[in-house]
Structure 1
Amino acid sequence: MQAILKQIAWEKLNGLIPVIAQDYKTQEVLMLAFMNKEALELSLQSGFAHYFSRSKQRIWKKGEQSGHTQKIYEILLDCDKDSLLVKVEQKGVACHSGAKSCFFNLVSQGEITNTALESQADMSVIYGVVDSLYHILQERKGADSKTSYTASLYHKGENTIAKKIVEEAAELGFAIKDKDSKEIIYEAADLLYHALVGLSFSDISPDLVKQEIVRRFGLSGIEEKNSRQEK
């Protein structure tokens, strides 16, 4: 195993090697991801693709949430030993959007056309509504600010986004004070949306927030606050 890992030019790659996943039967290119040494070792040992997420800063097994795993049939290292081609049996779809392949945006004559709209499933059921919404918000960064509310928030910048978060938090607080169940739900949804816009604007994955919440399990609120003050 170590002999294989040593063959890769990790130093010039800053520890992450780009990986193209390809359907072993149809030869269709499915996705591009990255592996570090540990992810590649886990892939070799288990026979299923593991990658390193740059946004979440952790190793993840493809399909760990959706069940859309990639069984490895062959791994090919290129001539410069700085990229991998992994031929896999794809269970379900490869892309979080619900498309079979991540490469469905057709670039032609100065326009980008989504060729997989009809085939995209409701990913909120598979990946969770927060993660699904975050991916949609990331995609809106390239949208027209005149036709997309989310894009207009990005265009106006952090001051407007921060102001909206404060406003929505206040409206939720008033709804709680008024004991209006429907308004509490509506305002909580608005606050969550605008908070995710703020995270997306800052390129911070909600998965990192989840990890921080997990870290706090077993800590009292007082202990957690004191630990921040000590820093």
Structure 2
Amino acid sequence: MFDIEKIRFNEQGLVPAIVQDVDTKEVLMLAYMNYESINLTIETGFATFYSRSRQAIWKKGETSGNLQYVKSVSYDCDQDSILLQVEQVGVACHTGNYSCFSEKLSLNEENDVKNEVPSYLPNLYETILDRKKNPIEGSYTTYLFNQGIDKILKKIGEETSEVIIGAKNEGTEELIYEISDLVYHTMVLMVEKGIKLEEINNSLINRKEKVKS
């Protein structure tokens, strides 16, 4: 049984909290919790932490929308660290990576160090889908859905033009930025029209098979 009274807080009244994706088991982030934030997490079902820099309670994703739905809370055998298993909406890291632990060094393959690209697209899609189902005031994605299909299509047209312009310019930095914008707005259109990411994936697989034949 989880008993908050058994937790061994440090001198500042804090305890480190590891956040893990409940499905993939990937470690998402490390934060700190105090007595109040643990209680709020249990009561609301949303991951809530204590910010040492702001010295205040903060609910993960309250402004970004990258909420963490807590599925379980546990502490280790010494009662001095917390483990949260969560369903992550969007990304966990402020850098845009799904996990804060995205910088990896592979030690099991000799002389083979790889920078793995996180599978961000499914997480981005889920975040956009969540905005459709649960609008957030001040959210740009919510604004697009409220404006409707014509506004979304207009933005896709604008971003397509920006991609063309970016491709004509020197370097790739601008082009990468504009392609990212186009991908995002295309996903907004997909959600608006009820198209799942799996359907696009299956279509691409079919194209790959046709190329082989």
Give the alignment's TM-score, normalised by structure 1: 0.46
Give the structure-2-normalised TM-score.
Answer: 0.49
